[in-house]
Amino acid sequence: MEYEDRLWQFTLDPVGGTCRVAVFDTERELFDAARAGQPRGEVFRYFESRSPARGGWSGSRFSSWRYQAPSDPAVVEHMGRELWEALPKSLQASLEGGTPLRPARIKIASDARRLTDLPWEWMYGPSGWIALDERVRIVRSVPLRFAARPLPLTGPIRVLVCISNPKDERMMDSGREIAVLDQALARGSFDCTRLVDPTLQQLQDALRARPLVLHYVGHAGVNPDESGNLILPTDRGTTYWVDGPALVNAIPASVHLLCAATCFSALNYDVRGLSRFAFAPPDLALPTVVTNQSQPADQGGGSSAAFWETFYAQLAETGDIVEATHEGRRAAFTTTTADWGSWLAVLRDNTGRLFLPPSGLESLALPESRDDEIAQRLRRQLANDFARSLSSGSEPGEVADMEIPASDMKSSRLRGWSMKRMPTSLAHGSRARELMDSLVDRSRDE
């Protein structure tokens, strides 16, 4: 599927609280504009016209919209209309021009939690639910200056399923949760391994098989700094909170998609933690994440089954995470709940392409080895980190030419490396820009 891309970048003034939004065609255009100090777009007045408590946006964790709204489509429609009406006319117009064969792909990006917390998937325009329109795709984005290349795929899609239900959390029905995923992954396109209540070490051991997809089902939590966590058991069965850096250190370079799903058979401890986890800072090299922003109202699992079965069927056919999420939402749509809008895709590679089908491999220059693939990814990570440093106005430093030992390239820790973590000293100046140009050239070539 080809798309007409529109990137909506929301920024929040930390002093005055004014929210602005600008529209870009590409991530590179966004980074170039930030580096040039260009104006940050039009005012988004959603927060100016509404008190924090209106519509159930505040209050205790279990009385918030994330737990109540999906059971009442009328409430969700009201929330969606308010979002639509607050959009500047230019953003409303950017939704136009798509067709079913070449949809407008709206990538919503922001560093501000108040903006990423809004349920954009339920936005309701003059023609109905925007995210269900065949001419539009709604996704979230953690933009990168340079996109990651999709992988070639010639065999089954390796999926590691992790079902986590620590004893000191609300007990979910693991059997029903497993049955939903077993049905979704029953196709011959998948090679599935399942873990039930693994510790972090057991999960890390299983990840040595280098799956392409990690699918987590369980509870989530939110730290005092508002970052999110997945929750695994300890060897005593109590909870162990896994934040972004911990998972980055655990997963190998092979994992290009994380599905972080809430349990449907029990109330999630804090479902906010899933989307907060997905929006981890860009210098944490998490893969693209498909997750829930609200608790499904269908506790029987019907909406979850419809979403995941369609999602994985579409993923196996096309390798396109954006299209798989869109079709999954449409499959989960009913008139009795708004669960379909619970699922969101957070692109952390710009493209949302998990792999290239065999027909797309003829003109692709493939890495000669796994070490070459990891080295390519590391160079791209460094280039993206430099781009963020330059666009934010900071002064990246002079970096000595690095030779990366093969032993280090095999380490899963490379996925978490960034310029802030590199052992070499950084000093600003022409050498930094020379290195940046070199990294840019390498990333474009690859």
| 140's tokens | 């979230």
Name the DSSP letter for residue 231: E
In 293-410 the beta strands, taken as DSSP E runs, fall at: 343-347, 355-356
Classify residue 165 by burial, with Cβ atoms within 10 Å: 0-12, 13-18, 19+. Answer: buried
Whole-number pLDDT of residue 367: 46
Using one digit for the tens of pLDDT, what is the confidence trace for 70-104? 888 888 999 999 999 999 999 999 999 999 999 99
Buried b (16+ CB within 10 A) or exposed e, 334-370: eeebbbbbbbbbbbbbbbbbbbbeeeeeeeeeebeee
Write down the residue that tokens 């599935």 correspond to. 192
Higher pLDDT, 295 or 15: 295
pLDDT above 50 for 412: no
As a whole number of angstroms, the distance between CA 85 and CA 426 comes to: 47
pTM higher than 0.85 = no
Range of lowest pLDDT (23-27, 64-68, 89-93, 98-102): 64-68
Burial of 308 (0-12, 13-18, 19+ CB in 10 A): buried
> Residues 444, 419: contact at Cβ < 8 Å?
no
Beta strand 213-218 pairing with 257-262: parallel
At residue 285 the predicted structure's pLDDT band, cuts being 50, 70 and 90, is confident
pLDDT at 379 over 80: no
Taking Cα atoms as reference points, which of 434, 437, 380, 353 lies closest to residue 145? 380
Range with the poorest average pLDDT among 153-157, 394-398, 423-427, 437-441 = 423-427
Taking each helix axis from N to C end, the angle separating 321-332 and 302-318, rounded to the nearest 10 degrees, works out to: 150
Report the distance separating Cα 382 and Cα 345, nearest Å.
24
Contact 363, 338 (CB under 8 A): no
* Predicted confidence band of residue 389 (pLDDT cuts 50, 70, 90): low
Which of 288, 444, 287 lies closest to 380, judged by CA?
A: 444
124-127: long-range pairs with CB below 8 Å, 24+: 124/77, 124/80, 124/81, 124/83, 124/84, 125/84, 125/92, 125/95
C-alpha span between 415 and 409 (Å, rounded): 10
Compute the average pLDDT of residues 56-65: 48
Q: What is the rounded average pLDDT of the residues 272-282?
A: 95
The rounded distance, in Å, linking the Cα atoms of 143 and 145 is 7
Confidence of residue 157 (pLDDT cuts 50, 70, 90): very high
pLDDT in tens, 125-145: 999 999 999 999 999 999 998
Helix boundaries (H) for 319-369: 321-332
3-state secondary structure of 365: coil
Taking the C-alpha atoms of residue 252 and residue 47, their distance in angstroms, rounded to an integer, is 40
* Nearest C-alpha neighbor of 176 from the set 302, 273, 55: 302
Cα separation of 84 and 124, whole Å?
A: 6
293 pLDDT exceeds 90? yes
Domain positions in the chain: 4-140, 151-360, 370-445
Q: Which two tokens stand for residue 394?
A: 């900071």
Mean pLDDT in residue range 417-435: 39
Average pLDDT, the chain: 81
**Encoded tokens for 156:** 């089954």
The first and second tokens of residue 21, run together, are 């939004």
The domain 151-360 is placed in CATH, from the list 3.40.50.720, 3.40.50.1460, 3.40.50.2300, 3.40.50.2000, at: 3.40.50.1460
Quote the tokens at residue 158: 């390796």
| Beta partners for residue 258, in sequence order | 214, 289
Q: Over 70: is that where the pLDDT of 437 sits?
A: no
Q: What is the pLDDT of residues 162-206, one digit of tens each?
A: 999 987 667 899 999 999 999 999 977 899 999 999 999 999 999
pLDDT over 60 (residue 330) = yes
Asked if residue 34 lies in contact with residue 57, where contact means CB atoms within 8 angstroms, the answer is no
Percent of the chain topping pLDDT 90: 57
